[in-house]
Amino acid sequence: MITCVRGTRDILPDEIHLWHLVERESAAIFDRYGFEELRLPIFEVTELFARGIGDTTDIVEKEMYTFTDRNDQSLTLRPEGTASLVRAYIQHQLYKDGGTRKLYYAGPMFRYERPQKGRYRQFYQIGAEVLGPDSPGVEAEVIDMLMLLMDRLGIGDTRLWINSIGCPACRPAFLAVLQEREQAAAGRLCADCVRRIAANPLRVLDCKNPDCQDTINSLPSILDYLCAPCRSHHERLKKHLGLLGIAYHENPRMVRGLDYYVKTTFEITSGALGAQNSLLGGGRYDGLVEQLGGPPTHGFGFALGLDRFVLALPEAVRAGSRPVPDVHLAPLGETAQELAQVVAARLRRAGFAVSQDFQDRSLKSHLRHANRLGVPRVVIIGDAEAEAGQAALKSLITGDQILVPLTELEAVLRQQPAEKE
């Protein structure tokens, strides 16, 4: 048997309505905030990601699906969406079309990682980006949009974490101090931390080893080393969040895995997810457009993990049943099948969701089947009905049954809408 490859999965009809729900709500809410969708290719030239994400990040160093096509060009299945979006923004000169562009995308991303709860090699993201303005108000607006989305989906038990990781003007000085202090404290840190001191001193702050926590807490905070513009930006963001009544946790130890972030970074975690508890994450990337060959442009955005949103949906929503037809046709015999087919076509054109059973089964079997489907009403057409040009319309909720001329079925169904379960 051939199965889907490791880290990929089939999303079956039982689950897909949850995905539709998240996709529908996201699109509706993003639209309300003025975001426009664009669709991006699933693979790009490898260089785009190396330059955009940073070629020393884990993603680029060891997680990309890179291959050579028949023209010996190095291509990569996209591991994230922002680089592609910015490429499109530059390629089509969207910056010439007004000051601010608000764009969003959705689709599969690919990273070669060990699969785990909420982590797959092909996973799905919806991301939105605001290109143009530098305002903390934009950041608060985007976060507000996400709060509304999660509220609409019933996703609770979440926390918003914010941080500022400074900018090229202030971060290098902080990193130098941090590294120095970490080296001095190396004796009290775990082996992983010691290794990170040289490789990526920021990562030490993110260590979860309980024995390291006291030491890490004594390390300097980036927030104390921000330059004046960064500090002001951060304070204004907090003020805007306060105005919107959005609760946040400031976390100077939060670190992002992509090189392009500056100033504001944020993340929303969920208690419903397990170890991979990040529902979404994002931040500001003021230098990225320029770095990829565009004009100097401010950028702010996020990506949300669709797989994780679906996992975090509350039980009440998850338990929601699949959509069921409005009416089920149960024809008995060949003549009745033919009649029913025509009836089904007519009812569908009239807007009803109709299922017709083409299996030659007993009436009892038809009804049992309809009952399992949760269909509220069944149209029974047997020999007697067929001859008289009628059908028996039975409600599976009340058990009532009436004879209706086939030509009037549509009108009767419309007049007496049945309550679904």
Residue 307 touching RNA (CB under 7 A): yes
Distance, in Å, from the CA atom of 106 to the CA atom of 101, rounded to the nearest integer, reads 17
Distance, in Å, from the CA atom of 318 to the CA atom of 374, rounded to the nearest integer, reads 17
Residue 116 touching RNA (CB under 7 A): yes
Region near RNA per CB under 7 A, out of 146-154, 176-184, 233-241, 302-310: 302-310
Residue 73 touching RNA (CB under 7 A): no
SS3 assignment, position 388: helix
Binding mask 355-374 for RNA (x = CB under 7 A): ------xxxxx-xxx-xx--
Residue 346 has a CB neighbour count (10 Å cut-off) of: 15
**DSSP 8-state class, residue 6:** T
Looking at residues 320 to 339 of the shown chain, list those that interact with RNA (rule: CB under 7 A). Answer: 332
Binding mask 370-399 for RNA (x = CB under 7 A): -xx-------x-xxxx------x-x-xxxx
Distance of CA 211 to the CA centre of its chain: 35
Region near RNA per CB under 7 A, out of 26-34, 134-142, 165-173, 206-214: 206-214
Binding mask 138-177 for RNA (x = CB under 7 A): ----------------------------------------
Cβ distance to RNA smaller for residue 154 or 382: 382
Residue 239 touching RNA (CB under 7 A): no
Query: What's the min distance (Å) between Cβ of 7 and RNA?
Result: 6
For 68, 135, 167, 233, 285, the CA distances from 227, given in Å and listed in that order, are 44, 17, 8, 10, 17
Residue 213 touching RNA (CB under 7 A): no
Distance of CA 243 to the CA centre of its chain: 27
Q: At what angle do helices 228-243 and 136-153 cross, to 10 degrees?
A: 40
**DSSP 8-state class, residue 94:** G
Beta strands of 230-338 (E only): which ranges? 249-250, 262-270, 278-284, 298-305, 327-331
Cβ distance to RNA smaller for residue 236 or 395: 395
Query: What's the min distance (Å) between Cβ of 276 and RNA?
Result: 5
Distance of CA 254 to the CA centre of its chain: 21
Cβ distance to RNA smaller for residue 95 or 277: 277
Distance, in Å, from the CA atom of 421 to the CA atom of 377, rounded to the nearest integer, reads 11
> What does the binding site for RNA look like in residue numbers (CB under 7 A)?
1, 3, 5-7, 9, 57-59, 63, 80, 111, 113-120, 123, 125, 192, 196, 203, 206-209, 255-258, 267, 274-281, 303-305, 307-308, 332, 361-365, 367-369, 371-372, 380, 382-385, 392, 394, 396-399, 401
